[in-house]
Amino acid sequence: MSSPPHIPVLLDEAIAALAVQPGDVVIDATFGAGGYTRSLLSAGATVHAFDRDPDAIAAAANWPETTVEPPRLVLHMRRFSEMVEAMAEAGIARVNGIVMDIGVSSMQLDQAARGFAFASDGPLDMRMSQQGQSAADFVNLADESEIADVIYRYGEERQSRRVARAIVAARPLGTTGELARVVRKALGHRPGAPKDPATRSFQAIRIHINGELDELEAGLAGAERLLASGGRLSVVCFHSLEDRIVKQFLREASGANPAGSRHLPQTTPAAPPVFVLAGKAIRPGDAEVSRNPRARSAVLRAAIRTDSPPRNGQAQARRAA
């Protein structure tokens, strides 16, 4: 195997949290360049790798671990929210570990033709799967209020209405450079400022186009169903919207949310926890941030599956069917 073009953030910490043993079956829910998968294979695991980006799957098609019998690497070109269905099709009911590296990959960001970033001008695309509605479709066809809502909700941009109004006035927009210039002009761009004002709007549109937060919620629910007792979950997030979802999921799943009080008594018995938190959240150290500035906002949360049945398992099974 050749060296991966990008090393995942918190790689050692995320893999250590899985405590992989030879023969374990582990899901890499966000394959990307395969950095996590390489470490998992080196530890002796069999890996089921998910990525909706056909470029990522094609790049790994010739890895030797895909051709041995039985294969030690199984590639799934589909969303990780579909991991329960995919593993059932593979005849696997339970796995020993699941790792997720949420958000857009460095490979996608660095390819101008994919339209995820504005560092280099490219078509306004942003589709992880390279299918469906593009960012250009959204900014050129959605009404002003919807654009404003998306930029406010997913970019936490306080001046979202001003940005949306400027986008509509400038339509049609076809490239990342055009969109970035419109947003900067609307917000007032100061050259040399530590953060480009277009960043939040680009993040918001990308999250919306790819349904990233819904995907994360469904993936966490899938992990709850798939992990065997003692199985481990390791999730790396890069911004507060993602991390808030993971943190709340694990608090609820571990029973760490506050119990009832005399002012608001608990009316039903507390459900047994389905996860135990595996230590505190981990952030990258100064050395890693120095090597890779994109790591500066990352946070890793990990948990261990108990032997309690999944919450609302029967309802989830009905929806999946």
Residues 11 and 258: their CA atoms lie apart, in Å, by 32
Tell me the average pLDDT of the chain.
90
Per-residue confidence (pLDDT) for residue 316, from 0 to 100: 41
Residues 15 and 62: their CA atoms lie apart, in Å, by 24
Tell me: pLDDT of 4 over 50: no
Tell me: pLDDT of 190 over 90: no
Per-residue confidence (pLDDT) for residue 82, from 0 to 100: 98
Tell me: pLDDT of 261 over 60: no
Tell me: pLDDT of 317 over 60: no
Tell me: pLDDT of 15 over 80: yes
pLDDT (tens digit, 9 = 90+) per residue, 206-255?
A: 999 999 999 999 999 999 999 999 999 999 999 999 999 999 999 999 99
Instruction: Give the least confident one: 103-107, 239-243, 293-297.
Output: 103-107
- Determine the length of the chain: 321
- Domains in the chain, start-ordered, CATH in brackets? 11-105+212-320 (3.40.50.150), 107-210 (1.10.150.170)
Instruction: Give the least confident one: 26-30, 84-88, 250-254, 291-295.
Output: 291-295
Per-residue confidence (pLDDT) for residue 319, from 0 to 100: 37
* Cα–Cα–Cα angle for 153, 154, 156, rounded to 5 degrees: 70
SS3 assignment, position 40: helix
Give percent of the chain with pLDDT exceeding 70.
Answer: 89
Per-residue confidence (pLDDT) for residue 117, from 0 to 100: 81
Per-residue confidence (pLDDT) for residue 269, from 0 to 100: 60
Per-residue confidence (pLDDT) for residue 259, from 0 to 100: 53
Residues 87 and 93: their CA atoms lie apart, in Å, by 7
Quote the tokens at residue 150: 């998306």
* CB-based contacts of 258-265 (< 8 A; 24+ apart in sequence): none
pLDDT (tens digit, 9 = 90+) per residue, 135-172?
A: 999 999 999 999 999 999 999 999 999 999 999 999 99
14 within 8 A of 101, measured Cβ to Cβ: yes
pLDDT (tens digit, 9 = 90+) per residue, 47-74?
A: 999 999 999 999 999 999 999 999 999 9
